[in-house]
Amino acid sequence: MEFPPPGWELYQAKDFNTDIPHIEGDHVMELKAQARPNGRVVDHWRVGIGGAKILEANIRLKEICKSSAIAPYRLVFQAWPRDVNIRRNMTSSPWLDGMELLERREYAIWKDGEKVAIKEDVMLEDLEKEVDQAKKSFSIRFAVGVADDKTLRLELQGLPATESTLKGKPAFVG
C-alpha cells in the first residue's frame, strides 16, 4: 500500500503540537498523527480544534454541584475553538476546577426565574453560605466524543469534585 494514501495531507512535524485544523467551517476538528515515511504512526496523535464561530457553554450548576445554595444558577461562557486544548494522545482537555473558574469571573450568571444575567457577587454570597466544601466543589473539561451519527463532537463534561480530586483518580485523568 502506498503512503500517504490519496486524500491525506502531510505537514511539518515541528508544527505538530500547535498546528490548527486546515479545513474551514464554523467548528472543525482534525485528527493529527506523527507518521514515519513508511506510514507507521510513531508515538503521538492529537485532535486539533478550530473554527470561525465562538463556542458557548451553558452550565446548570445543579447538574454538577451538590450544593442547594447554588443549584438555581447557571454559568454561560464563551471560548474560541482554537483555545480548547485537547491533550496529546487523549480525547479531553485538563480538568478545570469550578472554584477557580468562578474566581476568574469570565462568565455570565443566570438565576432561575430571572430575565437578565445577575451580578456575580449574588451567587458568590450564596456560595459562601455553603459550609461543606465538598458540596460546592465541581470541575469541568472539554472532551471529544463520537455522536450517534458517527461524527466527532466536542462536549463539555462536569463532575461534582475538585480538579485535584479528579486528577488523583486514574479513571478520570484521561
| pLDDT confidence tier of residue 2, bands split at 50, 70 and 90 | confident
pTM metric for this prediction: 0.85
Least Cα distance to 64 among 172, 155, 148, 136 occurs for 136
Cβ within 8 Å of residue 103, ≥6 positions away: none
The pLDDT value recorded for residue 13 is 83
Cβ within 8 Å of residue 164, ≥6 positions away: 97
Q: Does residue 172 surpass a pLDDT of 80?
A: no
Q: Does residue 174 surpass a pLDDT of 80?
A: no
Q: Kindly state the percentage of the chain with pLDDT values over 90.
A: 50
- pLDDT (mean) for 37-43: 82
pLDDT in tens, 106-148: 889 999 988 999 998 888 888 888 888 889 899 999 999 999 9
The pLDDT value recorded for residue 1 is 65
- pLDDT (mean) for 49-75: 92
Rounded to whole angstroms, the Cα distance separating 147 from 142 reads: 15
pLDDT in tens, 41-59: 888 999 999 999 999 999 9
Q: Tell me, what amino acid is at 72? A: P
Q: Where are the domains of the chain?
A: 13-50, 55-173
Q: Does residue 76 surpass a pLDDT of 90?
A: yes
DSSP calls for 71-110: TTEEEEEEE-GGG--PPTTSSBPPPEEHHHHHHHT-SEEE
Q: Which residues pair with 152 in a beta bridge?
A: 146
Phi-psi map region of 71: left, alpha, beta (phi>0 left; psi -120 to 50 alpha) = alpha
Q: Does residue 170 surpass a pLDDT of 80?
A: no
| pLDDT confidence tier of residue 37, bands split at 50, 70 and 90 | confident
